[in-house]
Amino acid sequence: MNLREKIFAHLKNLNFAENYLWTPPQYLNAFLIELNPVEKKNFSQTMQELCDENFFISEGDSQLPSYRLTKKAEELLYK
- Average model confidence (pLDDT) across the chain: 92
12 pLDDT higher than 80: yes
Separation CA 57–CA 66 (nearest Å)? 8
pLDDT of residue 79 exceeding 90, the answer is no
The CATH code that applies to domain 3-77 is 1.10.10.10
Residue pLDDT, tens place only, 38-48: 999 999 999 99
Q: What is the mean pLDDT of residues 43-63?
A: 94
Q: How far apart are CA 73 and CA 79, in angstroms?
A: 10
The contacts of residue 49 (CB under 8 Å, 6+ apart) are: none
Give domain limits for the chain. 3-77
Taking only the tens place, the pLDDT of each residue in 28-39 is 888 999 999 999
Give pTM, 2 decimals: 0.89
